[in-house]
Chains A and B, each alone.
Chain A
């Protein structure tokens, strides 16, 4: 089972991701509303998979991805953001994210993205 952390400054989005993730593959271990909080929770709970918003106060998602990758290069980060330009997507991937899901999203979208992100672990 993969330990999951949700990072988003919107409580509504955190709650939606929490409700949406139906696979027994994941166990929610932490939620954070900004990058700085995410770093603290990451060190304490050591998640394997992280969903990461980009536009947040107190450390944005790109800076947070950099720090999480430094702490654990193997962590699987799925960016979940409304920022739809290619340059931002590429930047997130270059910093170490493994996938990108554009907001708005449906329950099916987030489930499919998380399963795709972790499929290689179950081959």
Chain B
């Protein structure tokens, strides 16, 4: 995957958190995930990608970050249902925003939310996930991009 493509998703992460009152997001150096060991924290919002690019984009975060993020955007209800909703919405926003550069052909699904660390994530064959670490306040989350190489 090209640096330019990874940068599109980094820009999406920064843009998302810059629209919260606490804009103090820091993006770490992207790295290639170990094969067969998907990175996953407490909750993961996964977006399927089809079209010329096939695979998925996902946002994974600890519950505490999601609770803090809800409060930060003015949502007082930090119920489990809203945490599930939010983790999917963040993933959807970052993937959707990528279409400014990747075009309408970068087709995305509605989010699927996975709780806990799955034993396996069915990621595209012949590809590995690029993980973009995110530090927001004192919490760590990540966006992962796993697309088949064209």
Contacts and interface: CB of A to CB of B under 8 A. Distances in A.
Contact of A105 (B19, B82, B94, B100): B19
Interface stretch (A43-51, A63-71, A77-85, A111-119): A77-85
A63 B95 CA distance: 21
Interface in B94-112: 94-100, 102-104, 106, 108, 110
- Indicate the size class of the contact surface on chain A: 20 to 34
A88 B96 CA distance: 11
Contact of B89 (A10, A83, A84, A107): A10
Contacts of A85: 99-100, 102-104, 106
B77 interface: yes
Contacts of B73: 12, 16
A19 B73 CA distance: 10
B25 to A, nearest CB: 12
A15 B85 CA distance: 12
B97 A102 contact: yes
A73 interface: no
Given A85-B100, A88-B104, A12 B75 contact: yes
**Secondary structure at chain A's binding surface: helix, strand, loop or mixed?**
loop
Interface residues of B, number: 30
A57 B74 CA distance: 26
22 contacts: A9-B110, A10-B85, A12-B85, A12-B86, A55-B92, A56-B110, A57-B110, A82-B92, A82-B93, A82-B94, A82-B95, A82-B96, A84-B96, A84-B98, A84-B100, A85-B104, A85-B106, A87-B104, A103-B93, A104-B16, A104-B19, A105-B19
Interface of A: 9-13, 15-16, 19, 55-57, 81-85, 87-88, 102-107
Given A11-B85, A15-B77, A56-B110, 15 more contacts: A9-B110, A10-B85, A10-B88, A10-B92, A12-B85, A12-B86, A55-B96, A82-B96, A83-B108, A85-B100, A85-B106, A102-B97, A103-B96, A104-B20, A106-B19
Closest 8 CB pairs of A and B: A82-B96, A84-B100, A104-B19, A85-B99, A82-B93, A87-B104, A10-B89, A83-B96
